Structure 1
Amino acid sequence: MSEFLLTIVTVTKNCAGTIGHTLDSVQAVKRDGIEYVVVDGVSSDGTLEAVRQHGTLVDRCLSEPDSGIYNAMNKGVALARGKYILFINGDDELVADGFPAVMAALAEGRHGIVCATTLVGDARSPSEVLVAVPRRLPFFNTIPHPSSFVARDLLLRWPFREDLRIVSDYDFFLRAHLAGQKFHVLPVVTAMHQRGGASGNVARSQAELDQVRRQRLGWRYFAVNAVAGLYRWGKGLVGGLRHG
């Protein structure tokens, strides 16, 4: 049996301006039973120097070319020795307050996926609060990846698709949901996320989401799409009435 309950993985490339905050936030939660792995895409801006300055915080650091973020994330899964894996990017941060509740749930070993809450923007005044809603996965991307703790055996069974550039994490969660995998949702905050990067490309993101839903849902896609469209229309109508 692995000595590690959790492996935290940071996939990064040229994040020298933000990686320090990420590393400090991992330092705040790291203890026995948690390992930390950094997978770097050959940074050239001082990212690796920042990692080295944190001494023994990082248990293993791999720096080599990759074909994209999901290729790097799959490398992180292969390196991980923990029963569960959490991905936190080099421009995001962990929130220590919620970790005791999550670690207790992971120690039970009864859940394949444990989801906490992610704040977007500033912790004191977040622009969004991302709470996991697994039942809505066929309709929308409703699982916040920075606060989702996933059993390593599931990530080995269903590796991240490397043909996708933005939504392979959604593809993984939708696939798990359709396969009957249960999600355990905890009402605690464990991550802060900053919008931007590849995920900020709204048009490409939407196109990939639609592709994944078509492939995973099959004939159900058309019914689900109709319901999702009605939901968005209803929200727009209510919003219009409120501002009218």
Structure 2
Amino acid sequence: MKLISWNVNGLRAVVKKDFAEIFKELDADVFSIQETKLQEGQIDLELAGYHQYFFYAQKKGYSGTAVFTKQEPISFKQGLDIEEFDDEGRTITLEFPDFYLINSYTPNSQPKLKRIDYRMRYDDALRAYMLKLSADKPVVLCGDLNVAHEEIDLKNPKSNHKNPGFSDQERNKFTELLDSGFIDSFRSLHPDEAKYSWWSYRFNARKNNAGWRIDYFVVSQNGKDLISNADILNDVYGSDHCPIELDLDIKGE
């Protein structure tokens, strides 16, 4: 089973580029996106053979998540049942027979970490939710988690220490998530590979590969045996992020 996750930085914008061709070529069973920047009724996507699920932020042109799946899920849930996070359309859960998929657009802590407290509360709420679900069946978390966990996960760690996405607080929360029973799928399969999923639009960052790995597939320990491959598709353009991939060995696939 092939899963793709991609922060598209505006779904309407990427649709005007090569989204249809990229989507068809990747041929994912489940395609999760973040930062749709949409309100209901602002787009009509023709994705033959896919069920479409959206969660919109109340604020126009901001945040938002969506999942497109070939297999109709058992259930679909918007949010974490916590108003301060759900107002921003950040989290979608789809239940499949063998696992739960959570698509998250984790809050950016903002310059000077002015939103770090909100971000910490979100991380705690998401971890608690993941632990609750994983008691039932494996959990796969995907999305833009807005943190580079270790120094290998960004090109310039020393100059970015304490900046949003590489602060001690954010990195420690990600460590806490892994320590509570979850696996960073890409890093577990590629322990020494420096590969990035996001590049600033400034300073020719993508051309120079001065990037960050802030997009993840995180899998609960009880789903470890399902993981067959994880990759970062950094030859795919259209956003300041590139898609990431997780392949699951699901019986019957």
TM exceeding 0.5: no
Per the normalisation by structure 2, the TM-score is 0.32
Q: Which has the higher helix share?
A: 1
